[in-house]
Structure 1
Amino acid sequence: MGALTGHWIGDGLVLMFSIAAVFYLYMTRKFNYWKKRGVLEFKPVPFLGNFGECLFFRKSALDFIKDYYNNSKGLKYMGFYILDQPFLMLRDPELIKHILIKDFNYFHDRYTSTGKKDILGNANLFTIKNPAWRFLRGKLTPFFTSGKMKKMFELMLAVNKDLDTYLESLDIDSKGREMEMKELCAMYTTDLIGVTAYGLRVNSLNNPDAEFRACGRQIFNFNWRRGMELACTFFAPKIVDLFGFKFFSKESTEFLRRAFWDTIDERVKSGVKRNDLIDLLIDLREQTKNGENKEFRFDGDNLVAQAAIFFTGGFETSSSAMSFSLYELALQPEIQRKLRVEILEALEDKNGELTYDMVANLPYLNMVVSETLRKYPPLPFLDRETNMDYKLPGTDLIVEKGTPVYIPLQGLHYDPQYFPDPEKFDPERFSEENKKNIPPCVYMPFGEGPHICIGLRFGLLQTKLGLIKILSKYEISACDKTNVPIVFNKKALVIAAEGGITLKIKKLMKVPG
């Protein structure tokens, strides 16, 4: 006999509905949070907030960000919800400047977080919190100076030659052949990261199944599980531990850990110095042993985490920028021809030799890559979390401690107020004259302020180097398999084309004058 209804089934139903009601009330308790504060919000759905379409992969994160930005036109900010958490989205460049730069001491941490036991996930420079972040950033910055880039340039040229050899081996004639460009670019940038960070010739171009390339594919293989892992890491970190989600997959973690320690052991045993990331991390480990680094211990997985994030961030963002550049150039043959003329003239002036200063400073190449990064920023948003109550300048709104604040890059980069006819690929936006008209904190593909991407110089250098090698000898065009317009992967948190980017590549029979 049931205590409440006289039957155990009835009691069970009462209990079940009671639990559901309590859970419903708990998950909706914060709804109207923004409305009560006079901030525009869109009606959230119980248990999902405004993020349901993304959680079920019916909409990509970049479209989510862009849509909410567009639907709050004319406002400085708006509110939305993910699960039961209120988020604030900033639209006003002046407020964004305060959050990212002027009042950084209130917003020194990203909202993005990983599981407590996920050391590779939470100890790397991208996700680690202050004050460890500030100390770690200072220790790793010397690896990314222009002086270091110039020293690494010779290593990068060897990989650039490998790219040339690989393309020649395909025997591409004047009729051309179809190729998936994202994979080609990823093999190239994986080899670059391998030689500059690990001191290894990982040989992805000659062996597409090389372990480093296989690891990279696995990390950015956006199936349901992987898509959910990264979506929760960036937007709902409080439930990451509940489902055992990891920043790097289990298999990738095991490989990166093994590759790192094998390289460390070999380097220490041989005594060879290559002035790469491994050498820097060995030096930092010695400082930890000597008690010099007290704020952050450079040992164990804390060391592996830095090499892992440099590998993943380095090859993926640059291969994305390269492949999207080639996509746009394939659709814009006049722009491609103009860029090729600049490249060939520069090579002729240097007797065919590639130099660091030439690659870094070609004006039209800079404009093309900048415009690519406007249309296809590696991440469609920047995220921060308030570490104390903060009054938004010029408003009455108090952003309470712990509130996630998001900056919608995908919205800003496509706002016709700042970039007229934003769907058009137009490198002239970034001419010396025109780029002065772009307001601060509107164009930020690498972030801004103290958290700006530490590998910015490196990423741009390897992207430009790859484009120079390809465009100096080959013509790129669209083919029947090219998606126009491009279709984005709804499971991907980073910007990624669904099914890759297939283009036709054709050998130039005569160097254009």
Structure 2
Amino acid sequence: MWAISVVSLWMLLLGIPIALYFYLRRQFSFWSDRNAPYKEADWIFGNLAEFVRGKRSLAEVSLDLYKEFKGSRFVGIWEFHSPTLFVIDPELLRDILVKDFASWSTRGTAANVDVDPLSANLIHLNGDTWKSVRAKLTPTFTSGKLKQMHYLLLECGKDFEKYLNAAATDGKPLEAREMSAKFTTDVIGSCAFGIQMNSLNDEDAVFRRMGRKIFEPSTKGKIVRALQRHFPGLFKFLNLSTHEQELTDFFLKITKENLEYRERNNLQRHDFMDLLRKMKNSDEPLGKDDVEIDYRFLAAQAFVFFAAGFETSSTAISFCLHELAVNQDIQDRLRDEINETKAASDGEVTWDGLNSMKYLDMVVAETLRKYPPIPVTSRCAVKPYRIPGTDIELPERTGCIAPIYALHHDPEYYPEPDKFIPERFTDEAKSQRPALAYLPFGSGPRVCIGLRFAEQQTKLGLVKLVENFKITLCEKSQNPLQLDPKARFLVAKGGIWIRISKNS
């Protein structure tokens, strides 16, 4: 009996590595079996090994892949052991993100909602539930709604101006991303939640502290997210969460208290929380899925709006400030446009005035071109998909990467891509490029729902900075900027340091 047990143990010990070997062999022959172009990969970390190990940023790794296979419409790569379609041709990207969206409608990330209720948000939702929630939240971001909220942005703008006056008087170097994040956090608090967050005046403001925690890089976080995307079975089996408990508890509490207060007082502000309240009180089902619309589910939507809303805009503002400090002629031209627009509106930054500034539009667009906050976006096939123009059929759950940063730095579409040239975004220049050669907010039905709001607060933040202050480099500044290899999104290593002084 004992001998049989020893034999069984040895068979098990030998069987596991043998089974693993054949599994990996099958996975890493995926692209060659389909006669597709591919890049040889590390059998542990795949083709993104340098990023996984924290050696280089995801933007730089994806740009190298893009350059190596430029001329092909796509190349097969691996994320860890998972075969992934890396798209190079903007027209193929249009097929996947727009035309054939029904085949690529998910991002392919797992969620353990019971232990991680914040993961049940619009980014991770799929199928009919995603479609229904998206439709219900979209009214927040129409031009009419944003125009109604413009006065709230102006109030935050006045607080920002006071903060900037004090900083200009002090004369010390400022870290532009942290400064911008304080402003955008306060904007989100006012326009979405009806809460005075006070990030500009309180260094330890709770919402700003939570915002830092969301995007704080950590080895544990990177491992958990890798399991979530590439080993979903193990992620679910281990019942893992992608959010710290403190963060979860905070957003559950703030959402529940906010909704209950509005119910008791019948308070309406026509903001994001009002839409969540209506969703909770609606009798309409969320698609065919059995989803309970409780405060936990609504907190997930509030969380992702807060996180995406302050981070992308603060990143854009900070990178833009760096370029304005480097390119004083662009800064001066932008200031002239701001002054002319305000003069035509009795010194006010009106909704119409903000949206009439063509050069401001071009400066923001060029910032998002050179520094897209999210360097790649991903999709996952929900059914078999034949790549147009080929005989290659991809099975369900094959991943796809759209290399945003790489497309934005392709000299075919943007000559001298490392230069900051706002004129790339005149109407004539834009008409000469494929539409999907520029996608800082993604594209198709899953395009960023809050892109108009992000653009509005980014523009107002820049107006407040440029109209009365001169932005320059300082002794702490880097030029050119280096990208942080450990950050999930596009972040400058060591920060973006500037100095502001009152404009004479």
Q: TM-score, normalised by structure 2?
A: 0.94
Conserved 8 A contact 2:156-2:183 = yes
Q: What is the deviation of 1:169? A: 2.8
**Cα contact 1:119–1:301 (8 A) shared by 2:** no
* Counterpart AA for 1:158: E
1:33-72, Cα deviation, whole Å (9 max, x unpaired): 1012121222222232223222221122222221211111
TM-aligned CA distance change 1:103 to 1:14, over 3 Å: closer
Report the equivalent of 1:20: 17
Judge which range, 120-129 or 136-145, deviates more.
120-129
SS of the residue aligned with 1:472?
helix
Tell me, yes or no, if structure 1 residue 427 matches structure 2 residue 422: yes
Change (3 A) 1:497 1:245: farther
Matches within 5 A, 1:7-86: 16=13, 18-86=15-83
Structure 2 SS opposite 1:80? strand
Any idea what SS the aligned residue of 1:505 has?
strand
Per the alignment, residue 202 of structure 1 pairs with 197
CA contact (8 A) 1:281 1:298 kept: no
Decide whether the 8 Å contact of 2:109 with 2:232 is kept in 1: yes
The equivalent residue for 1:393 is: 388
1:177 and 2:172 are equivalent in the alignment = yes
| 2:493 alignment counterpart | 498
Residue 181 of structure 2 corresponds to which residue in structure 1? Answer: 186
Distance 1:460 1:26 in 2: 46
- Distance in 2, Cα, partners of 1:427 & 1:246: 41
**Equivalences, count:** 502
Tell me, in whole angstroms, the C-alpha distance in 2 between the residues paired with 1:244 and 1:481.
43
Correspondent of 2:450 among 414, 430, 455: 455
Tell me the amino acid that sits aligned with residue 36 of structure 1: D
Please state if 1:148 is matched with 2:145. Answer: yes
| Partner of residue 321, structure 1 | 316
Summarize deviations over 1:200-235 as a string: whole Å, max 9, x none: 011000002111000000001112223444455456
Q: Which moved more, 1:122-131 or 1:163-172?
A: 163-172
Structure 1 residues 231 and 474: CA distance shift in structure 2, 3 A: farther
Contact 1:160/1:469 (<8 A) preserved: yes
Match of 2:439 among 441, 444, 450: 444
Partner AA of 1:240 in structure 2: F
2:337 to 339, 342, 354: 342
CA deviations on 1:251-272 (whole Å, 9 max, x unpaired) are 2111111111121122222222
Instruction: Map Cα deviations across residues 329-381 of structure 1 (whole Å, 9 max, x no partner).
Output: 11111111111111111112212101111112310000000001011112111
Q: Aligned residue for 2:93? A: 96
Q: Flag the 1:414–1:231 CA change in 2: closer, same or farther, 3 A.
A: farther
1:161 corresponds to which letter in structure 2?
A: K
In structure 1, C-alpha distance between the alignment counterparts of 2:240 and 2:222, rounded to whole Å: 10
Could you tell me how far 1:12 is from its partner in structure 2? 8.0
Stretch of structure 1 that moved more, 122-131 or 156-165 = 122-131
Equivalent residue in structure 2 for 1:162, among 146, 159, 164: 159
- 3-state DSSP class of the match of 2:427? coil
Tell me the equivalent position of 1:275.
270
Q: Distance in 2 between matches of 1:224 and 1:149?
A: 38
Q: Secondary structure at the match of 2:192?
A: helix
- From 133, 136, 139, the equivalent of 1:136 is 133
Cα offset, 1:146, TM superposition: 0.5
Measured in 1, the distance between the counterparts of 2:168 and 2:92 equals 54
Percent identity, please. 38
Which residue number in structure 1 is paired with residue 106 of structure 2?
A: 109
Structure 2 distance, partners of 1:445, 1:144, is: 17
Equivalent residue number for residue 223 of structure 1: 218
Matches within 5 A, 1:242-253: 245-253=240-248
SS at structure 2 position matched to 1:131: helix
* Offset at residue 23 of structure 1 (A): 2.6
Aligned pair 1:298/2:284, yes or no? no
**Offset at residue 482 of structure 1 (A):** 1.1
Matches within 5 A, 1:379-390: 379-390=374-385
Aligned amino acid, residue 162 of structure 1: D
- Aligned in 2, Cα 1:422/1:263: closer, same or farther, shift over 3 Å? same
Worse-matched range after superposition: 177-186 or 346-355: 346-355
CA distance in 2, matches of 1:357, 1:229: 45
**2:235 equivalent in structure 1:** 240
CA apart distance, 1:78: 0.4
Letter in structure 1 aligned against 2:386: K
Cα distance, 1:497–1:118 mapped onto 2, change above 3 Å: farther
Counterpart-to-counterpart distance in 2, 1:222 and 1:297: 32
